[in-house]
């Protein structure tokens, strides 16, 4: 009886070990594929790391902000400000959507290397006139 129990435990441990190994291999392959898709080399690896860190891909960030070119900073800021304003909770908007817009802008800034330039809130009219 004890012998059979030990055999069952060993077999269970082997099954779990194999499944864990397969999961690690799949995750490694997926991260390599993401790095290649992002441009390969060091730039692709950095982009894949940024996607993992921010939890949002560059493509998703571009879709959220409805932009095509992340290099057009004026258009990025304009879209960001507009979406933050229309989703303002005091205006009946959604804090969740605001957070998605903020994360999209943060991801684009990370891609461009401007991690500290994300605005926390749009400028008021009095600030822009001075």
Instruction: Kindly report, residue by residue over 50-87, the tens digit of the pLDDT.
Output: 666 667 888 888 999 999 888 888 999 999 999 999 98
**Helix, strand, or coil (residue 23):** helix
Q: Is residue 96 part of a domain?
A: yes
> Which structural domain range is residue 121 located in?
56-129
Q: Is residue 118 part of a domain?
A: yes
Q: Is 37 a member of any domain?
A: no
> Using the 8-state DSSP alphabet, how is residue 70 labeled?
T
Taking the CA atoms of 45, 30, 50 and 52 in sequence, report the sign of the dihedral they define. Answer: negative
pLDDT in tens, 17-58: 999 999 998 888 877 776 666 555 565 556 666 666 667 888
CATH number where 104 lies: 1.10.287.110
């Amino acid at each position: 009886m004890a012998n059979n129990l030990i055999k069952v435990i060993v077999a269970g441990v082997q099954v779990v070990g194999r499944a864990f190994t397969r999961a690690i291999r799949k995750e490694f392959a997926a991260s390599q594929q993401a790095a290649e898709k992002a441009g390969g080399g060091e730039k692709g690896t950095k982009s894949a790391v940024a996607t993992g860190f921010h939890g949002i891909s560059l493509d998703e960030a571009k879709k959220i902000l409805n932009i095509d070119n992340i290099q057009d900073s004026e258009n990025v800021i304009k879209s960001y400000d507009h979406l933050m304003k229309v989703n303002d909770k005091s205006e009946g908007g959604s804090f969740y959507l605001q957070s998605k817009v903020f994360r999209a802008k943060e991801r684009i800034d990370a891609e461009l290397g401007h991690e500290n330039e994300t605005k926390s809130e749009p400028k008021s009219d009095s600030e822009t006139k001075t």
